[in-house]
Structure 1
Amino acid sequence: MIRPATAADWPSIWPIVEDVVTARETFAYDPALTSEEARRMWLLPSPARTVVFADGAEVLGTANMYANRPGPGSHVASGSLMVAASARGRGVGRALTTDLIAWARESGFAAIQFNAVVDTNTAAVSLYESLGFTTLGVAPGAFRHPAHGDVGLRIMWLDLR
């Protein structure tokens, strides 16, 4: 079930964020990020939205969604999604992405832009493409992967008009 995240969810969200960030494979966040710094970045105030995918009391994934840029860029949405390692391959990422798309449509955004999808994150790339996203371009070597060295970052786009 996907529901709005609350401050009380943070103790369940933080282990997911910490695991993803310290792995340094899919997000360009500082691996020394503290729980408090991450909480401020992840639990965004309205009109942005942060959600969790929960199975009962267990949080299996989380996403936040927001305008990609202020002012003249505010008609394009963006977001970030993270899934617990134990829940990967079980449809959590698809459900969170589908929820983000529905929120963006309902909120009147013209498109969704993911600014930095790591090229080696083939599960995310395949998921996004299956939901209609296209790659606008790749910044070669823009992400320093711990196993693959410098790899590309994709800008991925979904037109909602």
Structure 2
Amino acid sequence: MRSKDNMEMRPATRDDASAMLGLLQSVCEEGSALPFIDGIDEHMIDHIWLAARGCVLACGNGEVLGMYRYGPAMPGRGSHIATATFLVGEHARGRGVGRALVEHCMASAKAAGFRAMQFNQVLGSNQPALALYRSLGFAVIGTVPKAFDHIVHGCVDAHIMYREL
């Protein structure tokens, strides 16, 4: 699927692992959105990202701009609620990539039978993500105080956000 800006949304494959790893490592090194410090390697790409229920890349001009993965938030009786992780490369921010990824993910999760989506760690310091999720109908349903050790701001709150699909 291509957008008006010639951005392609497509399922990730094993052939994308190197580009995915580079994006994941870059975002994790920023220390401002994802909790991962160690083990950011091809094993993580294979077993957490590519093994997810859905793993999609946003690509443009021959490069990976962002990616997401989604799957059940919980096993068994909680498996009707999806959770997801989104990454947008620093070079691609402010261009609508995040919105395209979240909208695509919500549609994919709904088509797969999920009834709602829950994000377990949206940082209070990540104002762009909070604004995006709120604009798409997500609400903060809880806050974990000082849950994330931000590289610049120290310990910041993490919000749990939710919306029905």
Q: Report the TM-score range of the alignment, normalised by the length of the smaller protein.
A: over 0.9
Partner of 1:94: 99
Q: Distance in 2 between matches of 1:136 and 1:153?
A: 11
Q: Distance in 2 between matches of 1:88 and 1:70?
A: 33
Structure-2-length-normalised TM-score: 0.91
Instruction: Tell me how far 1:142 sits from its aligned partner.
Output: 0.8
Residue 42 of structure 2, aligned match among 13, 36, 60: 36
Partner of 2:111: 106
What are structure 2's unaligned runs of at least 5 residues?
1-7
Alignment of 1:65-80 (within 5 A): 65-80=70-85
Runs (4+) of structure 1 exceeding 4 A deviation are none
Instruction: Tell me how far 1:56 sits from its aligned partner.
Output: 4.1
Q: Distance in 2 between matches of 1:34 and 1:74?
A: 26
Q: Kindly tell me the number of residue pairs found equivalent between the two proteins.
A: 157
CA contact 2:144–2:157 (8 Å) conserved in 1? yes
What are structure 1's unaligned runs of at least 5 residues?
none
Residue 18 of structure 2, aligned match among 1, 11, 18: 11
Partner of 2:27: 20
Q: Distance in 2 between matches of 1:13 and 1:69?
A: 25
Q: Distance in 1 between matches of 2:137 and 2:130?
A: 11
Amino acid aligned to 1:102: A
Residue 82 of structure 1, aligned match among 83, 87, 92: 87
Residue 139 of structure 1, aligned match among 144, 155, 159: 144
Q: Distance in 1 between matches of 2:96 and 2:40?
A: 28
Q: Please tell me the root mean square deviation across aligned C-alpha atoms, in Å.
A: 1.1
Specify the SS of the correspondent of 1:59: strand
For residues 122 and 71 of structure 1, do their structure 2 counterparts lie closer, same or farther at Cα, with a shift above 3 Å needed? same
Instruction: Tell me how far 1:6 sits from its aligned partner.
Output: 0.2
Specify the SS of the correspondent of 1:17: helix
Amino acid aligned to 1:9: D
